[in-house]
Amino acid sequence: LTAVKVTGIENALQPAKDGLNTYTVSFAMPAKDVKIAVELDTVDYKEITISGEATKTTEYPAEQVVRVTGNLTLTEGTTITINGKLVVPAGVTVTVAAGSKLIINGYADIKGDIVIEEADSDKKDSAPGEILVAGNGQADVFGNVTISGVIGTEGTGKIVFKSGSAAEVSTGADVSATISEAGTIYGNVSIEEDASLTVAGKIGMNANDTTFAVEGTLVVDTVVPTLGFNVDIAKDGQLQ
């Protein structure tokens, strides 16, 4: 099996995340015997490689593995949507330029570096670069991330800074006004042991709550929202 799908469960994960093509599915059950029918479907994942400049808006299907083989830049006006799996190996940098967007509805394995650029101040309607992890998507980040644009989640999407990774959300010209002028992070964010996240920009966007699950280090060097901001400290996690 290259991946499995549990029928009857909304937003079953795909492709498999752990390299062993397995899933762990937990059920909240009442205190009585329950019978569950599980159906496994095989999926033949196809791989495509990309590098250089992405200049065309593209949506990759759920059975697609997109492997970045060299430095990649999403140019202004370009949206890349990953419904399957994105692989960014160590030594590779993905740059999300101003006015471009990377949407992860599936799974992203990011061992390289990520740069999200702020809006172009020389252009009136310029928007910041953005990474959005949506639906049941998840982005596991092992490399370094510099966020002058926007990174966040919707639905049950999740961003996980893995052990050894480091990220910085930089400040912009006006962190309390438009998103295009500030580094912004929002949604469900986990910081694992030995990972660190420094936030000097804006926390939260519109009505989106932001929750940090911290086992590593979270440094907040900005104004903290009065609503919709949660920090869960576990193990030896630190909030500075």
Q: What is the DSSP string of 110-176?
A: E-SEEEEPPP-TTSTT----EEEE-TT-EEEE-SEEEESSEEEE-TT-EEEE-TT-EEEE---S-TT
User: How many CA atoms, within 13 angstroms, populate the side-chain half-sphere of residue 54?
Assistant: 26
Highest mean pLDDT among 105-109, 174-178, 202-206: 105-109
Give the pLDDT band of residue 219 (cuts 50, 70, 90).
confident
**Which residues lie below 8 Å from residue 154, measured CB to CB, with a gap of 6+?**
132, 133, 134, 135, 187, 208
ω into 61 cis (within 30 of 0): no
CA distance 63 to 82: 10
- Among 54-68, 176-190, 195-209, 214-228, the minimum mean pLDDT is found in 176-190
Whether 84 and 62 have beta carbons less than 8 Å apart is answered as yes
pLDDT (tens digit, 9 = 90+) per residue, 114-129?
Answer: 999 998 888 888 899 9
Count of beta carbons in the 10 Å neighbourhood of residue 49: 11
pLDDT (tens digit, 9 = 90+) per residue, 129-154?
Answer: 999 999 999 999 988 888 889 989 99
pLDDT the model gives residue 220: 83
